[in-house]
Structures are given as C-alpha cells and as structure tokens.
C-alpha cells in the first residue's frame, strides 16, 4: 500500500502539470510539515510525539459553464505510523443541472448548521484526532462518498444528501490519544489494550446508508433551516455484546436553526433531537436519546478583533432509566451537560498575523479545552502556524480523558 | 439639513464606478446636488457589471502580496439596495472563497463568506466596516460603501476641474478619522482623490484614482491606490475585463452562488 501510494503520488506529481495545462485544468496544492508533542506524560503511550508528518496536497479543477470537476487529495508521510497515507478529500462532479437543481456527486466534505466548532444537525463525518493533535482546522471535517442534490425554489430550498455507505467519524482509537473506557472505568490506549479501538460498522447493504436533509430559506436577513437525518451514531457509542466491540447504533435526528444579524453582530440558535435506538432508555449498550440546544453570538469588538460566545446544552433523555440499567452508573454522562465556548480572534500586521483563542468549558462536568493558536502568513505562499491543545478535567469527562494528550504543535505550509 | 455626498464605494473600488459626464456648463453650488449626482454615478450606472480585480498589497519593507478576484454587482433600484458577489482566485488559501453582500441602504448589510475547504457558509457581521478587506489597505467600508447619512458634507472649494467636499462624521466614535475630504471630478463626477485626517489634523490615509478609462462610453476608474501614510504600506487595485449591462439575474446573488458560483457570470467572455 505504502509503495503504491508513493508511486501514485510521484506519477501524479510528475505528470499532472503538463497534462493539466493541456486539458485546461487548474492545478494547485501545498506541501506542509507539521510536528507536535504532548506536554504531559501519558504512561499509556510510548510516544511523546503526537504529530510528525509531511503532507503533500494536490488539487485539480476543471470548469465548464454548467459543470465542474474537482479533485483534492493528500499524500502524507507519517513519521509516527511510518506509513504513507493517501486521503482523497474531494473527487466530485458538480452539475448545475437546471435553474432549480444542483447536483454534487462523489467524495466531498459537507457542512451545515450554525455552531462554531459545535455540531448539532451536522452529522457529516468529522476527524476528532486531527482536531485535537493540531492539524489545520479544515481536517476537522472528514470527506464522505455522497450524492448531494440541492433544489431551489422561491418558496424554500431543499438539500438532500445520500451517503450510500455509512461514513463514521474518525474517532479516537487509543493511538496517539488515550481515552476513557466506561466499561473498565480506566483510561485506555492502543498500547494498554493491545491494539487500537475498533468498532463494527453496519453491514454494507442498501438501507444501511445515511440520508440527511435540510429545508432552508431566508426571511429578510434571517436564515431559517429545518434538518432531518436517518443513519447511525457517528461515534461508536453503542456496544455490540455478540461481536464484543463498540458499534454504531441507528439514529434519527431532527432539528431547526435560525441565524441573523442582531445588534451589529451575528446571533444563532439551533436545536436538535437525537432519537436513538434505545426507546425506553434502559438498554445499557445503546446511547439514550438526546436533546441538544445551542445559542451563540459573535461580533467585532474593534477593527480586526472578533469575539464570540456560545452556550450549548446536551440533555440525556430517560436518564433515570439509563442509570438504573447501567452496570457503571458512575461513568454514565450527566443528565445535562452545559458547555460554554468563547472565541477571540485578533488579526494584526495587515492581517498577516492571526492570534486566536477558542475555549470550551463545562461548568457542571468541570472539564475544559483551550485552543490557542498563532498563524503568520510570511508571504502569499508560505504560512507558519503554531498553537496548543490543552484539555483538562476528570478522567471520565469529555475533555478530561484527553488531558494527557495535551500538546503543542508547529506547522509550515507552502502553497502553490 | 441632511446633505449627501458621493463616496468611494464598492462600485468605484471594483472599477464599476461610473458616471455619465454631462459637461456642466455651470458649476454646481449645491453640495447635495453634487453628492446626488456623484452618488448615482459612482454606484448605480450600468444597472449591473463585472470586473476582474487584482489587488497588490505592498508593505513598508516592499514585500508584496496579491489578491485576485472577480466581482459582480447588480442594482436592485437606482439609488437603493444592491447586491455584490466576489469570487477569489488568489492567493491559494482564498481560492474559490466567495463573498456575498446584500447591501441595504436603510439598515445593516447582509454578508456571507463561503470557505470551500470546510464547505462552510459563514455569516459576516455588519459591524466591521472599518476593518481591512482581505488584508489590503482598502476597508470593508471602502468596498461595501459608507452610508451617506453618516457624515455632514461641506463644499469647501470649486477648482477648474474638481469639487472639493469635506465630510465630517456625525458620530466621531464610530471611526478612526476626524474627517475626510474628497475631490470629485466635475466632468465625470468620479472621486479622484480622498484624504483622511486624524485627530491631530494630519492626513494619514489616501485613496487616489490613478487611471480612468472610458468603458462602453462610461468613464471608469481602472487603477486605484489606497495608501497608509503612517506605515508606508499601500494597495494598488487594477481592474480589467470591465463590462456593464450584462443582465446578471437576481439569483446569482443568493446562497446558491456561495456553494456553486455560476462560472458563466464569473468568467469574462
């Protein structure tokens, strides 16, 4: 696999500029080196280095009046796994099929919803490992093989996204970052538990895919949306006792959001109901249904200084039944998780230097996560970025379990 | 008395600024009339338009960066609301980013930014008017327009070629300047020079039209420079492939364009 990937990369690299030009294809990309290390000792992990990779990105685009082809792939030499990974982030055909229909077919990154680094109705795949170890923000979103149809009308617009084969989050598996296992009540890592955490996926059959829908329109300056999702929990939050491994249980979700200008800033409100596969809430192997709510506000405080604040709540339904049925009630999530986030972004030196601090804190679960970062555009081509991911809290808390994965990182990117 | 004045706006900045130069036989003395004409000329001629824009940002130590984009503009009504759509092609980290503005004469503008790498539609607050536009020496307010009613206007001089109008903000806390003065060319009603004065009475910022060309019979600024006289940095905007009266449909300025910009309208013929 490794050798093949290198060959593919080499051939593409060597051949594409000439071919691209002949075909009228735009060629872009970047080369990036990233390194990062944990700042606390994790006895469960062998390596203090969390990030050590050279990444080459190739982007090809071709446009016609009605259609567009876009290809985007990363080739990453990972010093930790000593492998070369090929991650195709986009291979999509976009067709403006008619006045009222856009079609986007293929591998693509998808996002909707109003939250800032909080996702309620956005049940498209995410990569939490990348997010916590200091890769660029874009890697929080993972690609999926999907068909997106967008219907436009004067009354309302409709987005339909079909993902025929379920695409889960790229979640924490114990490699690089240790995690809390409520089954044992301890922190676990790939080293401590003899391998990465693997989860079973729904069988690859029709009917085991995902369908997401968004109905949206603007009313004056306000954007209104209704959302629906039929699929599976994106995290392996259920346990399959027969296979003796975590799994993804069926999930339906419904929600709504509104976003608009308020007092010189932008306010957003979003709610979602996660209707899980545990109707009475008494199946200890399946996560209970949840209500999620979010309210946020962002505005410019001074030129080039932006501040934002969000309040987010996650309420577990049938919590009493959950506790009653749980073998480890102590490690079950609290009935209501309150979370406050703040963002401060300051751009200096004619916006070539960006300083940012994003903070998550839960007053009732007593865990928090700080994301300071500094990014400097040396030129249009060369950008240098550094920052930290600092997680704190008890072992059984959402961010606290990652405390020993707290890290600092540095990246340099040359774009072309 | 409420007076109005032409302002350098997105139109002008994007090279879509327009005036039909009725060579005035007699000088105007009513500043409101000067302003009305210049405003209509700068903002609303042509009905709609397109330009390729290249901004070269040079800092005091002569390092330069480039922002390149296609801009579309459409009037909803003469002297009223307008729509703008901007599609970036350079630099790499802005490529395919779309900036969409629904400009409202009464009330805050609605503004969106589409970040393709995250497939993210971001809403941009209307508050940041005096913030740099994509790192250039032009501000969002230069781009999306300063509200006419924000300033008191005064015709300070009429030269052989220009009307000189001084503008003083009603709310001195809302911006970093004490006043700004604009030189409006009589023949075309195009603002050709603007100077911003700070509390100490010093000119610290200047916007100059370096070149005007006639396009489809419409005098149009094709080179415009904004200079920060304190830091020594400046941004040169160059406008090419300017076209007017294209008949761009209204739905080009909606969320659809953020995710899939219609190349038909964004590419020059």
Choice between B132 and B13, residue whose per-residue pLDDT is larger: B132
CB contact B206 to A (< 8 Å):
no
Taking an 8 Å cut-off on Cβ atoms, the answer to whether B91 and A415 are in contact is: yes
Task: Please say whether the beta carbons of A195 and A175 come within 8 A.
Answer: no
- Which of A152, A381, A416 comes nearest B256 by C-beta? A152
Which residues in chain B (17-36) have CB-CB distances under 8 A to chain A? none
Query: What's the average model confidence in pLDDT over A158-171?
Result: 96
Which 8-state DSSP code applies to residue B148?
Answer: G
pLDDT in tens, B146-179: 777 888 999 999 999 999 999 999 888 778 899 9
- For residue B232, list chain A residues with Cβ-Cβ distance below 8 A: none
Q: Which residue of A has its CA nearest to B251?
A: A99
Q: State the CB neighbour count (10 A cutoff) for residue A56.
A: 17
> Which residues of chain B form beta strands (DSSP E)?
48-58, 64-75, 82-90, 98-103, 110-115, 120-124, 151-158, 162-169, 179-185, 191-197, 203-215, 218-228, 234-244
Query: What's the average model confidence in pLDDT over B242-258?
Result: 92
User: Checking DSSP bridges between strand A238-240 and strand A245-247, what pairing results, if any?
Assistant: antiparallel
- For residue A100, list chain B residues with Cβ-Cβ distance below 8 A: none
Q: Is the pLDDT of residue A9 over 60?
A: no
CA distance B5 to B16: 18
Distance from CA of A367 to the nearest CA of B (A): 27
Tokens 């696999």: give the residue: A1
SS (H, E, C) chain A: CHHHHHHHHHHHHHHHHHHHHHHCCEEEEEEEEEEEEECCCCCCCCCCEEEEEEEEEEEEEEECCCEEEEEEEEEEEECCCCEEEEEEEEEEEEEEEECCEEEEEEEECCCCCCCCCCCCCCCCCEEHHHHHHCCCHHHHECCEEEEEEEECCCCCEEEEEEECCCCCCECCCCCCCCEEECCCCEEECCCCCCCCCCCECCCCCCCCCEEEEEEEEEECCEEEEEEEEEEECCCCCEEECCCCEEECCEEEEEEEEEEEEECCEEEEEEEEEEECCCCCCCCCCCCCCEEEEEEEEEEEEECCEEEEEEEEEEEECCHHHHHHHCCCHHHCCCCEEEEEEEEEEEEECCCCEEEEEEEEEECCCCEEEEEEEEEEECCCCEEEEEEEEEEECCCCCCCHHHHHHCEEEEEEEEEC
pLDDT band for A129, please (50, 70, 90 cuts). very high
Q: Percentage of chain B with pLDDT > 70?
A: 88
- For residue A302, list chain B residues with Cβ-Cβ distance below 8 A: none
Q: Is the pLDDT of residue B197 over 50?
A: yes
Taking an 8 Å cut-off on Cβ atoms, the answer to whether B92 and A303 are in contact is: no
Q: Which residue of A has its CA nearest to B264?
A: A65
Look at residue B157 in the predicted model and tell me its pLDDT: 92
Distance from CA of A181 to the nearest CA of B (A): 31
- For residue B62, list chain A residues with Cβ-Cβ distance below 8 A: none
Taking an 8 Å cut-off on Cβ atoms, the answer to whether A111 and B137 are in contact is: no
- For residue B65, list chain A residues with Cβ-Cβ distance below 8 A: 352, 377, 379-380
Taking an 8 Å cut-off on Cβ atoms, the answer to whether B132 and A350 are in contact is: yes
Lowest-confidence segment of A161-175, A389-403, B167-181 by average pLDDT: B167-181
Look at residue A1 in the predicted model and tell me its pLDDT: 45
What does residue B34 show for φ and ψ, rounded to 5 degrees?
-55, -45
Look at residue B24 in the predicted model and tell me its pLDDT: 45
pLDDT band for B263, please (50, 70, 90 cuts). confident
Mean pLDDT for chain B overall: 85
Taking an 8 Å cut-off on Cβ atoms, the answer to whether A108 and B130 are in contact is: no
CB contact B269 to A (< 8 Å):
no
Query: What's the average model confidence in pLDDT over A19-42?
Result: 87
Look at residue A206 in the predicted model and tell me its pLDDT: 82
pLDDT in tens, B51-75: 999 999 999 889 999 999 999 999 9
- For residue A303, list chain B residues with Cβ-Cβ distance below 8 A: 128, 130-132, 176
Distance from CA of B92 to the nearest CA of A (A): 6
Mutate to test the interface with B, among A261, A262, A270, A412 (most CBs of B within 10 A): A261
CB contact B134 to A (< 8 Å):
yes
- Which of B59, B92, B263 comes nearest A415 by C-beta? B92
Q: Percentage of chain B with pLDDT > 90?
A: 51
Taking an 8 Å cut-off on Cβ atoms, the answer to whether A28 and B123 are in contact is: no
Query: What's the average model confidence in pLDDT over A77-84?
Result: 91
Q: Percentage of chain A with pLDDT > 90?
A: 71
Look at residue A12 in the predicted model and tell me its pLDDT: 57
- Which of A63, A265, A303 comes nearest B125 by C-beta? A265
- For residue A347, list chain B residues with Cβ-Cβ distance below 8 A: 132
Taking an 8 Å cut-off on Cβ atoms, the answer to whether B125 and A111 are in contact is: no
- Which of A96, A303, A416 comes nearest B131 by C-beta? A303
Look at residue B15 in the predicted model and tell me its pLDDT: 47
- Which of A63, A259, A380 comes nearest B65 by C-beta? A380
Taking an 8 Å cut-off on Cβ atoms, the answer to whether B263 and A300 are in contact is: no
Task: Look up the pTM and report it.
Answer: 0.89
- Which of A65, A104, A150 comes nearest B264 by C-beta? A65
- Which of A216, A380, A383 comes nearest B66 by C-beta? A380
- Which of B117, B120, B135 comes nearest A351 by C-beta? B135
Q: State the CB neighbour count (10 A cutoff) for residue B249.
A: 13
Query: What's the average model confidence in pLDDT over A161-174?
Result: 95
Choice between A228 and B167, residue whose per-residue pLDDT is larger: A228
Number of Cβ pairs < 8 A linking chain A and chain B: 109
Query: What's the average model confidence in pLDDT over B92-99?
Result: 92
Mutate to test the interface with B, among A30, A58, A106, A303 (most CBs of B within 10 A): A303
- Which of A96, A216, A380 comes nearest B91 by C-beta? A380
CB contact B245 to A (< 8 Å):
no
Q: Is the pLDDT of residue A405 over 50?
A: yes
């Amino acid at each position: 696999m490794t050798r093949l990937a290198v060959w593919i990369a080499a051939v593409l690299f060597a051949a594409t500029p000439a071919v691209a030009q002949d075909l009228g294809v735009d060629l872009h990309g970047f080369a990036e080196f990233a390194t990062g290390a944990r700042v606390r000792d994790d006895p469960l992990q062998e390596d203090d280095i969390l990030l050590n990779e050279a990444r080459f990105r190739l982007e090809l685009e071709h446009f016609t009046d009605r259609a567009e082809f876009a290809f985007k792939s990363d080739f990453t030499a990972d010093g930790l796994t000593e492998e070369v990974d090929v991650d195709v982030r986009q291979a999509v055909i976009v067709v403006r099929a008619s006045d009222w229909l856009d079609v986007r077919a293929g591998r693509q990154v998808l996002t909707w919803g109003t939250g800032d680094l909080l996702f309620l109705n956005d049940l498209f795949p995410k990569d939490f490992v990348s997010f916590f170890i200091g890769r660029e923000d874009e890697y929080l979103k993972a690609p999926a093989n999907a068909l997106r149809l967008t219907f436009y009308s004067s009354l309302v617009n409709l987005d339909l996204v079909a993902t025929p084969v379920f695409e889960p989050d790229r979640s924490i598996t114990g490699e690089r970052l240790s995690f809390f296992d409520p089954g044992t009540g301890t922190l676990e890592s790939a080293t401590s538990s003899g391998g990465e955490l693997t989860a079973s996926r729904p069988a690859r059959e029709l009917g085991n895919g995902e369908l997401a829908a968004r109905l949206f329109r603007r009313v004056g300056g306000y954007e209104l949306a209704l959302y629906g999702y039929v699929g599976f929990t994106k995290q392996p939050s259920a346990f399959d006792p027969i296979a003796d491994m975590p799994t993804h249980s069926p999930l339906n979700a419904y929600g709504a959001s509104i976003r608009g200008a308020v007092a010189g800033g932008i306010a957003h409100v979003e709610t979602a109901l996660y209707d899980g596969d545990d109707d009475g809430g008494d199946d200890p192997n399946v996560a209970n249904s949840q209500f999620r709510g979010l309210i946020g506000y962002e505005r410019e405080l001074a030129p080039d200084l932006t501040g934002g604040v969000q309040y987010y709540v996650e309420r577990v339904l049938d919590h009493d039944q959950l506790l009653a049925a749980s073998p480890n009630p102590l490690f079950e999530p609290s009935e209501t998780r309150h979370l406050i986030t703040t963002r401060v972004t300051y751009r200096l030196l004619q916006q070539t230097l960006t300083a940012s601090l994003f903070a998550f804190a839960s007053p009732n679960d007593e865990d928090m996560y700080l994301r300071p970062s500094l990014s400097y555009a040396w030129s249009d081509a060369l950008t240098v970025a550094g920052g930290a991911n600092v997680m704190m809290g008890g072992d059984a808390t959402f961010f606290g379990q990652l405390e020993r994965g707290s890290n600092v990182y540095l990246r340099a990117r040359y774009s072309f | 008395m409420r007076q109005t004045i032409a302002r350098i706006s997105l139109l002008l900045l994007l090279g879509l600024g327009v005036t039909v130069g009725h060579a005035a036989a007699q000088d105007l003395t009513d500043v409101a009339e000067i302003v009305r004409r210049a405003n209509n000329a700068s903002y609303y001629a042509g009905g709609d338009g397109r330009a390729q824009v290249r901004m070269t940002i040079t800092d005091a130590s002569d390092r330069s960066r480039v922002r390149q984009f296609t801009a579309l503009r459409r009037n909803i009504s003469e002297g009223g609301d307008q729509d703008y759509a901007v599609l970036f092609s350079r630099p790499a980290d802005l490529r395919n980013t779309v900036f969409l503005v629904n400009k409202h004469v009464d009330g805050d503008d609605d503004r969106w930014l589409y970040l393709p790498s995250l497939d993210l539609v971001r809403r941009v607050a209307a508050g940041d008017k005096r913030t740099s536009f994509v790192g250039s020496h032009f501000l969002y307010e230069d781009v999306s327009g300063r509200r006419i009613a924000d300033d008191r206007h005064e015709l300070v001089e009429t030269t052989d070629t220009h009307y000189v109008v001084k503008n003083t903000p009603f709310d001195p806390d809302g911006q970093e300047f004490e006043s700004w003065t604009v030189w409006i060319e009589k023949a075309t009603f195009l603002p050709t020079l603007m100077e911003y004065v700070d509390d100490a009475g010093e000119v610290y910022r200047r916007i100059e039209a370096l070149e005007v060309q006639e396009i489809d019979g419409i005098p149009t600024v094709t080179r415009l420079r904004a200079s920060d006289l304190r830091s020594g940095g400046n941004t040169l905007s160059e406008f090419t492939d300017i076209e007017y009266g294209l008949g761009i449909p209204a739905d080009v300025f909606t969320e659809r364009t953020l995710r899939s910009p219609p190349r038909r309208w964004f590419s020059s013929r």
